[in-house]
Copies of this chain bind each other. A is one copy, B any other.
Amino acid sequence: MMNCELHDDTITAGGDAVSELYDRGFYGRVKGETLELSLVEGAYLLYRKKIEIFSDGTAIDFKMFFEIASKRLRDFELRYIVFKDLRERGYYTKMSPIGFRLYPRGGHPTKTRAHIFVYVVSERTSLPLQHLIRELNRAENARKRLILAIVDEESDITFYELKRVTMSGETAEPAAGEIKAPAVASLLNDRTIIWDPEVSNLLHNKYFFGKKLDEFRLQLSLVESGYLLDRQLIRIDNADANADTDTSAFDRCASETEPAYGLKYPVYSDLRRSGLVAKTGFKFGTHFRVYKQFKSDTHSEYLVHTIPPDHQFLLPELSRAVRISNSVHKRMIFGRPDADGSGVCYIEFEWIRL
């Protein structure tokens, strides 16, 4: 066993440590003749009985060390749990500000480059979207994958890979000339009804809008209504809904009925413009389920939930969303409309086993 010395948040090992611990196991950082271990590495080597740790000449046992370290390093226990898990499954890691840099299985610091950033968080943390986008940018610039390691209250770890994605599909948008005059629709609280059987069938059968109320009439959701209104394919004629096809009046009215309308609409119309068909994701607890190509027997490929720029992810909620999408074989995407209205930033969370 090797003697090490604890100072603040570094453990220094001299003598044979470089050959014993670094060359064989890639623990720590070589500093001249000595080896510097992080608190997490120190705890793990202490548990493995590879080192003894002294502070001011006194040996520290595992319990004492754990208590000290958890005061000196934020999320020490979490990092220890993730480090131990990864090490014991054959991964080499280096410390990083947000967690670890991870080497591919079979790779190590003198052979390969780290290919993954592991971001360690507690299930109790709320994760600001802006924070995640910053880490995504860093990872992209460094050509690494970004993986979130969430430690739950029983110290189980769930890994999610984060990716920016481009959404595109194959469904055309309704052409301007296809409907001669805007079709008459009535706004009834939180849905509208198109009364003309021909327009109803065209919009439903060819472009997959709404749901048939019966063989003659089509019901539209608020975002669908807003979209068709915007393209002057329908007009709303009942008095309570401001009697005209003015889209900004409709927007106000829709936002009152559905507070998330202002967030959902830009994402809905961006998806439509990108050739995708978005329908309600209510049964999955998300804003939309999204089809690349809509046919009666196809399943949707994505669940899309819209979030504002200042969104904070609550991890139990995130866990639920990803879990559902997984159980129904869909990809879980979060969509944040750009502040300038130019587009939408789509981020995928994929549940992975490392």
Contacts and interface: CB of A to CB of B under 8 A. Distances in A.
Interface in A75-111: 75-77, 81, 84
Contact of A211 (B123, B156, B210, B319): B156
Interface in A48-99: 62-63, 66-67, 70-71, 75-77, 81, 84
B221 A153 contact: yes
Contacts of A150: 282
Interface residues of A, number: 58
Consensus secondary structure, chain A interface = mixed
| Residue among A71, A75, A153, A214 with most chain B CB within 10 A | A153
A145 interface: no
Interface string A253-276: 000011000000000000000000
Interface string A267-293: 000000000000110111110000000
A70 to B, nearest CB: 4
A316 interface: yes
Contact of A317 (B123, B280, B285): B285
Nearest to A222: B153
A319 to B, nearest CB: 5
A290 to B, nearest CB: 14
Contacts of A221: 153-154
A147 interface: no
Given A156-B211, A156-B280, A222-B153, A285 B191 contact: no
A66 B319 contact: no
A71 B323 contact: no
| Residue among A189, A285, A328 with most chain B CB within 10 A | A285
B188 A77 contact: yes
A214 B47 CA distance: 9
A327 interface: yes
28 contacts: A62-B195, A62-B217, A63-B186, A67-B186, A67-B188, A70-B188, A75-B189, A77-B191, A81-B213, A124-B258, A150-B282, A152-B282, A152-B283, A153-B190, A153-B222, A153-B280, A154-B210, A154-B211, A154-B282, A156-B211, A156-B280, A282-B315, A283-B319, A285-B323, A286-B316, A286-B320, A320-B321, A324-B324
Given A155-B211, A156-B211, 8 more contacts: A47-B214, A63-B193, A66-B186, A70-B188, A81-B213, A155-B213, A156-B283, A286-B320
